């Protein structure tokens, strides 16, 4: 019997065994593979349907050297899921008439430098079509400098050439979201952190979410790990996220991100029509990358937006958030290990199906 047939039989047997299990058992079996197969050191995951959390679990270590277990209150870097929260904050200010998506962003940020013939707008930055570039090199990605303010972080890239004329292409960049953080500060009169705490995290019931501050180890904060080739797990060298806070400098928990997803579905944070605008394809049809405002749109046209959310990948973190409006379902998987994005996203995708099963 050849190897492919044996593999098919093994997968069939596994699938049939999952069907026979309860939803909780099936979720645990799938999720625990992340640690048992050596992909991550620690992780948490959960899903909710119609606002009710049906399953949450944590596995592995938050600090392996200290034998400290990973639990549901363990805080993990959200990585780029921060962009979704920042985008929702911007759209709150749009709802209030304080920001117009289509006028030059230097209307609101006097110190913003416009370099192209076409002026960069808030819409351009939300959809990654502004032309603002990404990290120049690995030194910037693994930043060691502490930037006290978002203005200081902006100074890193403000004088650089645009990658392309605004509105003509798509290029994903966390630096653009630094500008959105500045926009929030200038329009609201609050610091980015204060605005987010007051208008996003508190309103959504997110009690364990905040801005990561370098060398300030908060309670229940996980250590950072990285998966090398052949699933070798090592401690990661911490980097300073102060050069990208609105685009990837936050920490959170699975419970908090479930609350964030549900706050979007029940319109606690923004109106229904605002969310619908955010999950339209704004990132240029010719690019076919499926990005709205702060959210990836999963699924091919014309079904983009039926599932939306964001993944995250940075030093010491692989994360995934899925939101399925038609099923009123939110799925979250968070880990303290970089280099495991594919495995984390795969588990999250399978949990969508499991979440719809009956106990």
> Per-10-residue mean pLDDT for the chain, 359 residues long?
42 44 90 96 98 97 96 98 98 98 97 94 98 96 97 97 96 98 98 98 98 87 94 95 98 98 98 97 79 91 83 98 97 98 96 90
- The whole-angstrom separation of Cα 211 and Cα 192 is 9
**DSSP secondary structure, 169-238, as one string:** -----HHHHHHHHHHHHHHHSS-HHHHHIIIIIHHHT-TT-EE--TT---TTBPP-EEE-GGG-EEEPPP
DSSP state of 12: H
- The whole-angstrom separation of Cα 325 and Cα 86 is 20
φ/ψ of 322, rounded to 5, equals -120, 135
Domains of the chain: 24-355 (3.40.710.10)
> What torsion do the CA atoms of 114, 115, 120, 126 make, to the nearest 10 degrees?
-100
Contacts with 277 (C-beta within 8 Å, 6 or more apart), sequence order: 91, 293
In this predicted structure, what is the pLDDT of residue 4? 44
In this predicted structure, what is the pLDDT of residue 299? 74
φ/ψ of 91, rounded to 5, equals -70, -25
- The whole-angstrom separation of Cα 46 and Cα 57 is 6
In this predicted structure, what is the pLDDT of residue 288? 65
In this predicted structure, what is the pLDDT of residue 305? 75
* Helix or strand holding residue 323 (H, E): strand 317-324
């Amino acid at each position: 019997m050849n190897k492919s047939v044996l593999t098919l039989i093994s997968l069939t047997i596994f699938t049939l065994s999952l069907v026979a299990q309860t939803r909780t058992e099936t979720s645990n079996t799938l999720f625990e593979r992340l640690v048992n197969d050596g992909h991550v050191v620690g992780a948490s995951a959960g899903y909710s349907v119609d606002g009710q959390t049906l399953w949450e679990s944590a596995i592995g270590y938050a600090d392996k050297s200290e034998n400290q277990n990973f639990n549901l209150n363990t805080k993990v870097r959200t990585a780029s899921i921060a962009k979704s929260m920042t985008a929702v904050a911007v759209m709150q200010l749009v709802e209030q008439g304080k920001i117009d998506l289509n006028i030059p962003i230097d209307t609101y940020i006097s110190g913003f430098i416009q370099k192209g013939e076409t002026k960069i707008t808030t819409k351009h930055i939300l959809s990654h079509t502004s032309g603002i570039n990404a990290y120049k090199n690995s030194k910037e990605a693994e930043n060691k400098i502490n930037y006290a303010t978002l203005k200081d972080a902006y100074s890193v890239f403000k004088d650089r050439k645009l990658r392309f004329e605004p509105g003509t292409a798509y290029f994903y960049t966390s630096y653009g979201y630094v500008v959105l953080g500045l926009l929030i500060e200038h329009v609201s009169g609050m610091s980015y952190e204060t605005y987010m705490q007051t208008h996003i995290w508190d309103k959504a019931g997110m009690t364990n979410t905040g801005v990561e501050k370098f060398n300030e180890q908060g309670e229940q904060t996980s250590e950072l790990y990285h998966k090398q080739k052949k699933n070798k797990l090592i401690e990661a060298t911490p980097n300073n996220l102060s050069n990208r806070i609105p685009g990837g400098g936050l920490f959170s928990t699975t419970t908090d991100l479930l609350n964030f997803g549900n706050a979007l579905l029940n319109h606690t944070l923004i109106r229904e029509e605002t969310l619908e605008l955010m999950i339209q394809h704004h990132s240029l049809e010719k690019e076919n990358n499926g990005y709205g405002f702060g959210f990836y749109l999963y699924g091919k046209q014309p079904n983009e937006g039926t599932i939306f959310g964001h993944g995250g990948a940075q030093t010491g973190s692989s994360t995934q958030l899925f939101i399925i409006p038609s099923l009123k379902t939110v799925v979250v998987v968070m880990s303290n290990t970089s280099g495991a994005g594919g495995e984390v996203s795969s588990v999250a995708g399978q949990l969508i199906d499991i979440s719809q099963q009956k106990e």
